[in-house]
Amino acid sequence: MSPFKLKRIFYESDVLPARNPIYSRYNGQAVDAIIIDDTKSKRRSGGRPSINDALGLNLESEEEYLLYLGAVKSWSEVLSYLKENCNLSDEVYAICDRDDNLQRRLEEYGYKIQQCTNHFVKTTMYYLRKEQYPKEDRMKIKKEISRIISTLKNSVKKHRIDSNFARLKGRIDRTQEELLPTADELLSRDNDSNAAKFMLRTVDKVTLFA
């Protein structure tokens, strides 16, 4: 969910967030995965409180539900709320950004973590900017890893329809193999490259949900 949409729902809509019509009404349906994030907001009285949100996904019906939307809550409080009030599958996934604190809390609650693919690319670019890589080199790396991730996404769409999961497993393995040379190249330039370290520790998570 984009920060713009979050703020519109939370501050500008007269409809209660849990009943907002852009999502299906949640009435205890099974939740196989959640998309969880937060965003900073400005308020007229000052300060920048966090807005935490969680969307639920039912993979069979492909419906999305707004499970949680609230301000200034710890991740433990949010996850406790979901555990007590939502019908979470025995094996439930969480799609999220690189927030280490959030990922630790999710693992404590038994979630399997899928690194958001968009954040995977953005975070890699963030580290490369911090490491002062030339813009031309950054754009080449961005183009390459975006191509690899895009191919995986297309394979997921295709093989969810034809149920050829053996082919999908092969694509997942190739995706990981194709991402590693980029990380190795960055390490060859700088042994302490945070961009490379991020890619290496995240490569399994970025392909998990596929």
CA proximity to 92, closest of 77, 112, 75: 112
- pTM assigned to the model: 0.76
Could you tell me what percent of the chain has a pLDDT over 90? 56
Query: How does DSSP classify residue 26?
Result: P
User: 101 vs 7, which has greater pLDDT?
Assistant: 101
User: 185 vs 47, which has greater pLDDT?
Assistant: 185
What is the Cβ-side half-sphere exposure of residue 105, based on CA atoms within 13 angstroms? Answer: 17
* pLDDT score for 83: 95
| Start-to-end Cα distance in the chain | 20
Give me the sheet containing 63-71, strands edge to edge: 63-71, 50-58, 30-40, 87-96, 112-115
**3-114: CATH number:** 3.30.420
* pLDDT score for 9: 45
| Mean pLDDT calculated for residue range 21-25 | 65
| Mean pLDDT calculated for residue range 132-154 | 94
* pLDDT score for 200: 93
For residue 132, count CB atoms less than 10 angstroms from its CB and return exposed for 0-12, middle for 13-18, buried for 19 or more: exposed
- In contact, 111 and 198? CB cutoff 8 Å: no
* pLDDT score for 3: 46
- Mean pLDDT for all residues in the chain: 85
What is the Cβ-side half-sphere exposure of residue 177, based on CA atoms within 13 angstroms? Answer: 6
**Helix or strand holding residue 162 (H, E):** helix 135-162
Question: How does pLDDT run across 41-94, given as a tens digit for each residue?
Answer: 666 666 667 788 999 999 888 899 999 988 767 899 999 999 999 999 999 999
Stretch among 12-21, 38-47, 118-127 having the lowest mean pLDDT: 12-21
